[in-house]
Amino acid sequence: MKLEQIASKNILISANHEKEIYKDTHYIQVGDDIIDFSYSELKALHDVENELLDKNLVLSSIKGLVKGLITYKNEDGLTIYIKETTEYILVFSIGEYQPSLYKIYVESIFKKIE
């Protein structure tokens, strides 16, 4: 499977309350598709080995990500999460940016090419 990067880092949500980040379902438009995700879904995917064979290749191609002992982080120290659909691989960073300031970034979006 080949991947084409179709989007790079962009802030999706900045909020003063963690509920807006960690409890709500979020939506992002990618091309003609609307993809939904929640923190709990991304966390579950993160905690269990997913079947993305090129995970390290995908993450290493995104500028500014740092591999820690257990997980990847962006340059702001936010944890990286991946959501894979049939057509796309979406890479997010989520967390508390400053005290009481929470953010979700879209780090990158890749389109799967057969």
Q: What is the mean pLDDT of the chain?
A: 81
CB atoms within 10 A of CB 108: 24
Q: Tokens for 92, please give them.
A: 């997010």
Percent of the chain with pLDDT over 70: 79
What's the pTM value of the predicted model, to 2 decimals?
0.79
* DSSP code of residue 100: T
Give domain limits for the chain. 2-113
Mean pLDDT over 33-39 rounds to 90
Confidence band for 51, pLDDT divided at 50, 70 and 90: very low
pLDDT at 10 over 80: yes
Give pLDDT, residue 52.
Answer: 46
- Measure the CA–CA gap between 87 and 75, rounded to whole angstroms: 27
Would you say how long the chain is, in residues? 114
pLDDT in tens, 60-100: 667 666 666 557 788 888 888 888 889 998 999 888 888 88
C-alpha distance from residue 60 to each of 63, 82, 108 (Å): 8, 13, 11
15 neighbors 105 (Cβ within 8 angstroms): no
